[in-house]
Amino acid sequence: MHPTLQVMEEIYIHAACAAIWARFARLPDWPSWRSDISRATWVQGQTWQEGATFTLHAAGGGSSPITYLIRMVLPADTSVWESITLGNAMDQGAVYSLHFAEQVGGCKVSLRCTFHGWGSLLKRVTAAREKAKLHAILADLKAVMERGRER
C-alpha cells in the first residue's frame, strides 16, 4: 500500500499565460508576492530545467527549508516539482504541478499537490488547510499579475 492525498485549486488570471509564467519563473522574486515564503534560491542546475533543484524558506522561520527537484517543465504550460527534503519515515513526499490553460481574456492556472507516503494519511486531517494554502498562492499570483501588488 502506498497512500496518497491530492489537493487542487485553480484560478482565472486576467493576463496571458506567457506573462504569468515569466513572473512565476523568477524564483528569487517569490518572496515579493508569496506571503508564505521568506526566501527562494536555486541550489543547482539551470533555472526551471529538469533536474534543477531549489530551496524555499517559510515565512516566519518556524520550519526547516524544503528543497525541491524539478521533474518536468513546459514553459507557460506545465511544471512539476517534488520535495526531496524528508526528515523521518512519517514525512510525506509532495509533488506539485502547475498548469496554464489559455482562456478568453486571460489564463486559467491550476495548482495541484499530491502527498505520498504514510505521512499523507495524517494530511487527510488537514486537507482543507492544504487546499487553502494552494488557494492563497494562486491568489497572491493573481494579485501581482492583475494589480501589480507585491507584499
Digit-coded pLDDT (tens) for 83-124: 987 554 445 688 999 999 999 999 999 999 998 876 777 777
pTM over 0.75: yes
Question: pLDDT confidence of 29, banded at 50, 70, 90?
Answer: very high
The answer, yes or no, to whether residue 27 has pLDDT greater than 50, is yes
Alpha carbons 90 and 109: distance in angstroms, whole number: 31
Average pLDDT of the chain is 89
Digit-coded pLDDT (tens) for 64-94: 889 999 999 999 999 999 998 755 444 568 8
Express as a percent the part of the chain with pLDDT over 90: 66
Q: What pLDDT does residue 89 have?
A: 47
**Distance (Å) of CA 86 to CA 62, 90, 91, 134:** 16, 9, 6, 20
Q: Which domains does the chain have, with CATH numbers?
A: 4-26+68-147 (3.30.530.20)
Q: What pLDDT does residue 88 have?
A: 47
The answer, yes or no, to whether residue 147 has pLDDT greater than 90, is no
**Distance (Å) of CA 4 to CA 95, 99, 116, 129:** 11, 20, 5, 16
